[in-house]
Amino acid sequence: MNMKASGKLQEILSKGEFAVTAECGPPRGANSEIVRKKGELLKGYVDAVNVTDNQTAIVRMSSIAACTHLLQMGLEPVMQMVTRDRNRIALQSDIMGAYSLGITNILCLSGDHQSFGSQPDALNVFDIDSMNLIRTVQTMREQGKDMSGFELKGPPAMFIGAAANPFADPFEYRVIRLAKKIDAGADFIQTQCIYNIDRFKEWIKMAREEGLTEKVHILGGVTPLKSAGMAKFMNNKVAGMDVPESLIKRIAGVPKEEAVKEGLKICQETIAQLREIKGVHGIHIMAIEWEEIVGEIVEEAGLLPRP
């Protein structure tokens, strides 16, 4: 079979071009206009848009639905899918449903724990983990079969993404985990927000040495900081985030009204460095609820026009 999805993101990455993706968080409601507005802000500036799946365990419009709204606007979505809320039956069904709607990219995640969300009393599922989900999507594409081995009529052929966090512990295991995700079927990786570029370099060096950067497309995650408060919050309160003290000091050192500008400057410096690193094939801009800045970041970085 060996069918592969043929989206723009895959095409750009397989040509060896530098990819740009961004993120769109669906609204806490059923208003599709909100999704379209976010889509408008991103259109033309990025190759694909990640649509989160009830991120931070807060109930929102489903990723599949929001992806579909973006598709209708001519944007290419990356459907994020977490294993927190659905068992393997629902996951596989939604993958097939999504593909039938024209969604060709998926990002396989475990998901934020429900205790961080608005409904901590919910039952979590975690029937399978993100590694198992990657393998499931790959088996559907490569063998045309579901998890039971049943031959599917029109198997979904998704371009498969996974996440990596070079800043979480234990550090020495992070590359082993990356290798496992690639073996399981990941075609591309989107990383956690990069602020500690030295640690990122160390991680990707280890990945290069294992030959992993030849097997997978790594997109470095960036999130522009808006204030010293935000930098501190991300460092102290967001699990798995590493904002070096020097960066916090730098943004705290400028007048308040200059902080946003300084944050964007830091973001540009990070992007410039990422483009120089062997094995980095693109960037993933996570401007949370600040989609209007994405175009400016991409333009400023000299990454326009998009292919």
Partner 1 sequence: MIVGEQKPISEIKEIIAPYKKILILGCGTCVKTCFAGGEDEVAVLASALRLACKKDGKEIEIEEFTVERQCEDEFIREGAPAISRNEGVLSLACGAGVQALARRFVKIPILPGVNTTFIGVLEKQGVFTEECSGCGDCMLAIFGGICPFTRCAKKLLNGPCGGSQNGKCEVNPETDCAWQLIIERLKILGQMDNLRAYVPPKNWQTGLSGGPRKLVREDHII
How far apart CA 109 and CA 107 sit, in angstroms, is 6
DSSP bridge pairs for 122: none
**Residue 85 Cβ vs partner 1, minimum distance, rounded to whole Å:** 12
How far apart CA 93 and CA 102 sit, in angstroms, is 15
Of positions 129, 269, 292, 299, contacts partner 1 by CB under 8 A: 129
Q: Which stretch binds partner 1 (CB under 8 A): 121-129, 200-208, 270-278, 294-302?
A: 121-129
Regarding 121 and contact with partner 1 (CB under 8 A), the answer is no
How far apart CA 128 and CA 187 sit, in angstroms, is 20
**Residue 192 Cβ vs partner 1, minimum distance, rounded to whole Å:** 6
Binding mask 42-81 for partner 1 (x = CB under 8 A): ----------------------------------------
**Residue 218 Cβ vs partner 1, minimum distance, rounded to whole Å:** 15
- Peptide bond before residue 170 is cis, with ω within 30 degrees of 0: yes
Regarding 21 and contact with partner 1 (CB under 8 A), the answer is no
How many Cα atoms sit within 13 Å of 89 on the Cβ side?
0
**Residue 87 Cβ vs partner 1, minimum distance, rounded to whole Å:** 9
Of positions 70, 128, 259, 260, contacts partner 1 by CB under 8 A: 128
How far apart CA 122 and CA 117 sit, in angstroms, is 10
Residues 209 and 175: beta-carbon distance below 8 Å: no
On the 0-12 / 13-18 / 19+ scale of CB atoms within 10 A, 10 is buried
Regarding 199 and contact with partner 1 (CB under 8 A), the answer is no
Regarding 176 and contact with partner 1 (CB under 8 A), the answer is yes
Helix ranges, 144-279 (H): 171-184, 197-209, 228-237, 245-252, 259-276
Q: Which stretch binds partner 1 (CB under 8 A): 6-14, 44-52, 164-172, 262-270?
A: 164-172
> Closer CB to partner 1, residue 116 or residue 150?
116
Regarding 84 and contact with partner 1 (CB under 8 A), the answer is yes
Token digits of residue 3: 């069918």
How far apart CA 202 and CA 151 sit, in angstroms, is 43
> Closer CB to partner 1, residue 171 or residue 214?
171
What sign for the dihedral angle of Cα 307, 304, 194, 111?
negative
Three-state secondary structure call for residue 166: coil
Of positions 8, 69, 86, 135, contacts partner 1 by CB under 8 A: 135
Q: Kindly state the DSSP code that residue 226 receives in the 8-state scheme.
A: -
Task: Please list every residue from 255 through 284 that binds partner 1, using CB under 8 A.
Answer: none
| Sites of contact with partner 1 (CB under 8 A) | 84, 88, 110-111, 113, 115-116, 124, 126-132, 135, 147, 163-165, 168-170, 173, 176-177, 179-180, 183-184, 192, 239-240
